[in-house]
């Protein structure tokens, strides 16, 4: 029979396993064999401090056992016995492991400012489980949105109107602008920070800012598809369109007809991604030089070439080569 030896005591592991099986919360007897083996392996390495009274050994081993279980993800905080859920160190460990464990806070820890601070520091989304006073606290909310910009969704209306909070949120997650007070959709500084992080957020900017060259250039530099949300004037802006297609050639689909008819713009888009060819104007798809470039990029572009060019000897020859290469 295997025992754990210390200078003062010898503890039978089987006695502990028997005790564990009789504990409803653990339900060790229903756990997988591998889990039971892990528990036994951990227990086999137990070394207790010396000079511990025998009547204190079992509670100590029980506490250490649950600490091991939590550390190795063998049990969730909410499944611990109540006495350990109400143990501050256990709860702090749970929050440090996963901030959203704040939702399982026992009554004695609810409305605790410091614990809420720990939780949102680990995971900004834990703000949704914080008490109302914390969701209205600038310091707590700032920590939360700095960790996860989307946490602003759970902030109080007052905090959603706080420019410093919103700036921190959109800098971390541009799309968090959706959850901020609508007044910031026309705030130049906020929108600029947001599109720098996520160009697609241009769709929720005011019409005035969707027509601002600097804002739109920033947006399409981050995400070419943001061109879809730009004003018509910006979609016809050569500099903006070129920037967009250099980030993603498929952004050509959102450009003005004039830009789709520009051979240089179309060639650049196709060079960036072959699928851009289908968005070119009919005139460009009937341009032999562009058609050859598109076909060289991918034989799938053959179907987008004008019917006239599909009969061109050079186009036919390149198409056959591309088919042969794919085999």
End-to-end alpha carbon distance in the chain: 67
* DSSP per-residue string spanning 86-104: T-HHHHHHHHHH-GGGGGG
Q: What was the pLDDT predicted at 48?
A: 44
Please give the structure tokens belonging to residue 140. Answer: 């707590």
Q: Other CB atoms closer than 10 Å to residue 62's CB: what's the count?
A: 18
Tell me the pLDDT of the chain averaged across its residues.
87
At 147-173, the pLDDT tens digits run 999 999 999 999 999 999 999 999 999
Q: How confident is the model at residue 188 (pLDDT cuts 50, 70, 90)?
A: very high
Q: Other CB atoms closer than 10 Å to residue 30's CB: what's the count?
A: 9
Task: Decide which of 11 and 264 is more confident.
Answer: 264
The rounded distance, in Å, linking the Cα atoms of 80 and 30 is 16
pTM of the model: 0.75
Q: Are 205 and 189 in contact (CB under 8 A)?
A: no
pLDDT at 311 over 90: yes
The rounded distance, in Å, linking the Cα atoms of 74 and 42 is 12
Please give the structure tokens belonging to residue 169. Answer: 């949120």
Q: What was the pLDDT predicted at 6?
A: 34
Q: Burial of 307 by CB count in 10 Å (0-12 exposed, 13-18 middle, 19+ buried)?
A: exposed
Q: What was the pLDDT predicted at 71?
A: 86
Identify which of 63, 61, 51 has the alpha carbon closest to the alpha carbon of residue 15. Answer: 61
Task: Decide which of 42 and 214 is more confident.
Answer: 214
The secondary structure of residue 72, as a DSSP letter, is T
Q: What was the pLDDT predicted at 181?
A: 97
The rounded distance, in Å, linking the Cα atoms of 252 and 246 is 10
Please give the structure tokens belonging to residue 233. Answer: 């004037």
Domain coordinates in residue numbering, the chain:
1-49+58-75
The rounded distance, in Å, linking the Cα atoms of 213 and 199 is 13
* DSSP per-residue string spanning 106-123: -GGGTT-HHHHHHHHHH-
pLDDT at 20 over 80: no
Share of the chain above pLDDT 70, in %: 82
Q: How confident is the model at residue 61 (pLDDT cuts 50, 70, 90)?
A: confident
Q: Are 17 and 28 in contact (CB under 8 A)?
A: yes
At 64-95, the pLDDT tens digits run 888 888 888 888 999 999 999 999 999 999 99
Q: Are 198 and 173 in contact (CB under 8 A)?
A: yes
Please give the structure tokens belonging to residue 29. Answer: 């007897």
Q: What was the pLDDT predicted at 65?
A: 85
For residue 171, give Cα distances in angstroms to 131, 221, 288.
Answer: 25, 16, 46
Q: Are 185 and 165 in contact (CB under 8 A)?
A: no
Please give the structure tokens belonging to residue 36. Answer: 């039971």
Please give the structure tokens belonging to residue 253. Answer: 């689909």
Query: Bridge partners of 11?
Result: 4
Identify which of 14, 8, 16, 6 has the alpha carbon closest to the alpha carbon of residue 65. Answer: 16
pLDDT at 46 over 90: no
Mode of pairing for the β-strands spanning 3-5 and 10-12: antiparallel
Please give the structure tokens belonging to residue 81. Answer: 């016995």
Identify which of 186, 139, 129, 185 has the alpha carbon closest to the alpha carbon of residue 159. Answer: 139
């Amino acid at each position: 029979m295997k025992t754990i030896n210390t200078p003062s005591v010898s503890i039978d592991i089987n006695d502990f396993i028997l005790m564990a099986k009789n504990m409803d919360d653990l339900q060790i007897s229903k756990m997988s064999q591998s889990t039971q083996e892990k528990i036994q392996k951990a227990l086999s390495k137990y070394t207790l401090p010396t000079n511990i009274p025998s009547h204190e050994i079992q509670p100590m081993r029980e506490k250490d056992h649950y600490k091991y279980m939590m550390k190795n993800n063998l049990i969730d905080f909410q499944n611990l016995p109540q006495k350990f859920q109400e143990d501050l160190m256990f709860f702090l460990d749970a929050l440090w492991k996963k901030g959203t464990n704040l939702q399982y806070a026992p009554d004695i820890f609810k409305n605790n400012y410091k614990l809420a601070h720990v939780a949102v520091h680990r995971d900004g989304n834990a703000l949704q489980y914080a008490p109302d006073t914390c969701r209205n606290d600038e310091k707590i909310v700032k920590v939360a949105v700095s960790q996860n910009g989307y946490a602003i969704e759970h902030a109080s209306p007052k905090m959603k109107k706080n420019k410093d909070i919103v700036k921190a949120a959109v800098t971390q997650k541009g799309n968090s602008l959706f959850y901020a007070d609508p007044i910031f959709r026309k705030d130049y500084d906020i929108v600029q920070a947001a599109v720098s992080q996520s160009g697609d957020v241009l769709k929720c900017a005011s019409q005035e800012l969707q027509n601002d060259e600097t804002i739109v250039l920033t947006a399409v530099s981050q995400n070419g598809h943001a061109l879809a949300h730009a004003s018509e004037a910006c979609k016809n802006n050569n500099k903006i369109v070129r920037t967009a297609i250099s980030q993603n050639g498929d952004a050509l689909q959102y450009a003005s007809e004039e830009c789709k008819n520009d051979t240089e713009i179309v060639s650049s888009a196709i060079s960036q991604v072959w699928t851009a060819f289908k968005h070119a104007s009919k005139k460009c798809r009937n341009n032999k030089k562009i058609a050859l470039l598109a076909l060289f990029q991918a034989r799938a572009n053959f179907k987008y070439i004008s019917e006239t060019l599909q009969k061109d000897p050079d186009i036919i020859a390149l198409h056959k080569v591309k088919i042969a290469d794919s085999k």
